[in-house]
Each structure stands twice: as structure tokens, then as C-alpha cells.
Homo-oligomer: A and B are copies of this chain.
Amino acid sequence: MPVGTVLVTGGTGYIGSFTTLALLDAGYDVVIVDSLYNSSKVALDRIELLAGRRPDFYQIDITDEKALDEVFAKHPAIDSVIHFAALKAKSSVIPLEYYRVNVGGSIALLQSMTRNNVTNIVFSSSATVYGDATRFPNMIPIPEHCPIGPTNTYGRTKSMIEDVITDYINAQRNNLEKEGKPFQQWNGALLRYFNPCGAHPSGIMGEDPQGIPFNLLPLLGQVATGQREKLLVYGDDYPSRDGTAIRDYIHVVDLARGHLVALNYLRANQPGVKAWNLGSGRGSTVFEIVKAFSTVVGRDLKYEVVARRAGDVLDLTANPTLANTELNWKTELTMEKACEDLWRWVSNNPQGYRQEPPAELLAAVKKA
């Protein structure tokens, strides 16, 4: 008997695939829905190889309520949803599409969950909902009660979805109380995570962005493999220890485990809706990341300092105390370990999932 059955939206994406793996390893059955807009079905093969079991998979769009209803109908054992499906790059260029897919898709999902009596949702939010927390005294590292104030469209979609889930879950509770009905308690975890990075230590599963990568470490990976001439460092005139911006890098394996423990917490404690930061509490500058990754690669990586980007902020470091104490979760893998695992991934899979890794890597996984 599985521990439970979880629908993972966006389950072939970067964090979605690692969370699926963590769920399978913990004894859950997993059903994935994903549009494959920014991910690959090969992720399913790698999950199967590592977990020994393959999740069910449906290629559907998160805005397609009818298709969602059909998946729930086919899998009546689903009792919870972990919701990753969203657009995540170019939000300043195509904002309306972001609002349609991210916000509209989340509303469609909640409606479909309601019709199908699925009442636990773990939502993939983001530290970007805080915007520039440095504008408040004493808010670095950032606690969950820091005022929300996203500075770009992506962050605004995440903040809006948090509001939608929060208002909906609170209303469900109030309405049922008023009607004196036996309580089908809805529960929601809003997981605000900082900078996910790293890859599976086996070297066969990692981030596979379509097009130009968006984040520092994948870009550095491309410099190391020769696919990119140099890294652009946006600003070295921040008031930090070396002038570059500070972020909290969290290994994707730790992050996936964070989703698992949040789901377990919802199922065990029925807390209603709650927000948790998932971060290490340790901030690293851009130059520190460049140095750590260069050490792993064994040579200096070329970079060029250019002007700051609009909307970028000095410091996004988590205060993870709440997740540490309530979820009994903390990061176990360092930023340096993430650099090692990332290098194993990109050096063996420079084309991501579009090309098989060396046979000995796959053989080592099969043997283990």
C-alpha cells in the first residue's frame, strides 16, 4: 500500500522531478501532469531509473480544467496536490500569458480539486514575493512575516496565487463552521524558496531549461562547458562584502525533501494554510559562487561585470527558523556540494536531456 497518492503538476520540471523522486522514495504513488512547455519526458525515465518505479504521466495544460477533472477521475486515490506548473522566464515580456497560466491555472486547479474532494495543496511559491526586503529594518535574513512586495511580474503571480489559496482555504473553513457541517478541512503549504541549484549526485538528473538559462549556476555551467563565452555579473556596486548581490542557494535535493515534509505535515496536522521559507539561512555573493564553482571545475571561469538589472535586490537570504522548528526540516547539503553535483550533471549532459549521458553513469545507477 502506498503512503498516499499525490498529483504533481509540473512534475517533469526541475524541482518537480526531484520532488517526484523524493515522494516515490518515501512510498507515495505519484501522478504527474505537465504541458512539457519547458521540460522533457526524459525526466520520467531518469526518475524511474533512480526510484525503481515510474510515475503516471499526462501531458495536459494546467489551465485545462476538463483534462484535470479526467485525471482526478482516473486516479480516485489522489488525496493531495503539489503544484509547480507555471511559466518562469520572460515574465516582463509576456506578462499577460503569465497571469493567464500561473494565476488562471491555479484557479482552475483549485476548482478541479474542489469538484474531486482533494483538499491538500502544497504550492511552489518563491522568495521573490518579498521583493526588496532590505527596505525594512531587521528583515534580513527574511522571516515569513516580512511584508510582501514583489518587484516583477513573476513574483506578482506567485503572490497572487498565495492570496487565492489563502482566501479560499480560510473561506472553506469559515463557511463550513457557519453551516455547522462536518469539516472537510482544506490545508495549504505556501513554500517560498530561495535559489534552487545543484543536481542529482548520480549525474543523470538535473535542470534542463529550454533556451537560455535564467539563473546564475546554470549560466556558469555553460561557461564551464564552453557553450557560453563568459558570465555577466549584474552589478558589483552593491553594499555587500564584495559588491555583488547576495542569494541563499539551496540544493534541489534538500528542496525536494522540503516539499515531502510539508506534505506530511499537512496530512498529519491539518493546519489550514501556512507559509514556510525553504532556504539555508546562509547567503552567498555572486563572486563567492563563481569561486566555488571554479574550484570544482579546476580553473578560473570568465566573467564580466555589467550594470545592475532593474528589479534586482541586494540580499535575499532566508530565515528558515519556522521550517526548521515546525517541519523539522533544514538543509543538509552545502552550496559547495551543489556546485559539485551541478558540474557532474552539466559536464556529462551538456545538452541536458536531449542527449544520453555516458553509459557508465547509467550503468552505475542500474547497479546501485
Is there contact, CB below 8 Å, between B160 and A93?
A: no
Partner of A107, one of B94, B96, B164: B96
Interface residues of A in 286-304 (CB under 8 A from B): none
Is there contact, CB below 8 Å, between B107 and A100?
A: yes
Interface residues of A in 42-100 (CB under 8 A from B): 92-96, 99-100
Copies in the complex: 2
Q: Which residue of B lies closest to A171 (CB)?
A: B95
Q: Convert A141-174 into 0s and 1s, putting 1 for each residue whose CB lies closer than 8 angstroms to a CB of B.
A: 0000000000001001000100110011001001
Chain B positions within 8 Å of A104 at CB level: 103-104, 107
Contact of A8 with B by CB under 8 A: no
Contact of A111 with B by CB under 8 A: yes
* Bound CA–CA A274/B55 (angstroms): 49
CB distance from A181 to the nearest CB of B (A): 14
Chain B positions within 8 Å of A110 at CB level: 96
Is there contact, CB below 8 Å, between B168 and A95?
A: yes
* Bound CA–CA A167/B160 (angstroms): 14
Q: Which residue of B lies closest to A92 (CB)?
A: B171
A96, A153, A175 pick with most chain B CB within 10 angstroms: A96
Interface residues on A, range: 20 to 34
Is there contact, CB below 8 Å, between B164 and A93?
A: no
CB distance from A178 to the nearest CB of B (A): 9
A160-B160, A163-B156 are contacts. A168–B107 as well, Cβ < 8 Å? no
Chain B positions within 8 Å of A103 at CB level: 99, 103-104, 107, 160
Chain B positions within 8 Å of A107 at CB level: 96, 99-100, 103-104
CB distance from A62 to the nearest CB of B (A): 13
Q: Which residue of B lies closest to A106 (CB)?
A: B99
Q: Which residue of B lies closest to A174 (CB)?
A: B92
CB distance from A110 to the nearest CB of B (A): 6
Interface residues of A in 90-139 (CB under 8 A from B): 92-96, 99-100, 103-104, 107, 110-111, 114
Chain B positions within 8 Å of A163 at CB level: 156, 160
Chain B positions within 8 Å of A99 at CB level: 103, 107, 164, 167-168
Interface residues of A in 230-267 (CB under 8 A from B): none
Q: Which residue of B lies closest to A168 (CB)?
A: B96
A103-B103, A107-B100, A160-B160 are contacts. A167–B93 as well, Cβ < 8 Å? no
Q: Which residue of B lies closest to A149 (CB)?
A: B147
Provide 11 A-B residue pairs closer than 8 Å at the C-beta atoms, listed in order of the A residue: A93-B171, A93-B174, A93-B175, A95-B167, A96-B107, A96-B164, A96-B167, A96-B168, A100-B107, A103-B104, A156-B163
Listed from nearest, the 9 A-B pairs whose CB atoms lie closest are: A95-B167, A96-B168, A153-B167, A99-B164, A95-B171, A100-B107, A160-B160, A95-B168, A99-B107
Query: Given A96-B107, A96-B110, 20 more contacts at CB 8 Å?
Result: A92-B167, A93-B171, A95-B167, A95-B168, A96-B111, A96-B164, A96-B167, A96-B171, A99-B103, A99-B107, A99-B164, A100-B107, A100-B111, A103-B103, A103-B104, A103-B107, A103-B160, A104-B107, A153-B167, A156-B163
